[in-house]
Amino acid sequence: MGGTVSLPDAYSALTGFDTKYILELSTIQIKSVIETVKNIILEWLLKLEEDGIIGDDMEFTKDEKDKAEKNNYTINNFYGNISNSQIQQNSSNSTQNMTIIGEKERIYEILNIIKENIDQIKDIDHAKVNDNINNIETEIKKSNPNSNKIKEALKTIRNIFEGAVGSIIASGILYKISQLKLW
pLDDT per residue rounded down to tens, the chain (183 residues): 566 766 677 777 777 777 887 777 788 888 888 888 898 888 888 888 888 888 888 788 998 888 888 887 776 666 666 655 666 666 677 766 555 556 788 899 899 999 988 888 888 899 999 999 999 999 988 888 888 899 899 999 988 888 776 677 778 888 888 888 765
* Pairwise CA distance, residues 133 & 111, whole Å: 7
Query: Cβ distance 163 to 118 under 8 Å?
Result: no
What single letter denotes the amino acid at residue 79?
Y
Query: Cβ distance 114 to 102 under 8 Å?
Result: no
Ordered by start, the domain boundaries in the chain are 2-70, 104-178
pLDDT of residue 24: 79
Using DSSP, state whether 56 is helix, strand or coil. strand
Cβ neighbours of residue 180 closer than 8 Å, sequence gap 6 or more: 103, 106, 107, 110, 154
For the chain, what percentages of helix, strand and coil (3-state, to nearest 5) are there? 55, 5, 40
pLDDT of residue 11: 73
What single letter denotes the amino acid at residue 147?
S
Q: How far is CA 137 from CA 54, 62, 96, 102, 145, in A?
A: 46, 43, 22, 15, 10
* Pairwise CA distance, residues 23 & 46, whole Å: 35
* Pairwise CA distance, residues 30 & 24, whole Å: 10
pLDDT of residue 144: 84
pLDDT of residue 153: 94
pLDDT of residue 156: 92
DSSP-assigned letters across all residues of 136-166: HHHHHTSSS--HHHHHHHHHHHHHHHHTSTT
* Pairwise CA distance, residues 53 & 104, whole Å: 45
Question: Packing angle between helix 104-117 and helix 126-140, nearest 10 degrees?
Answer: 150
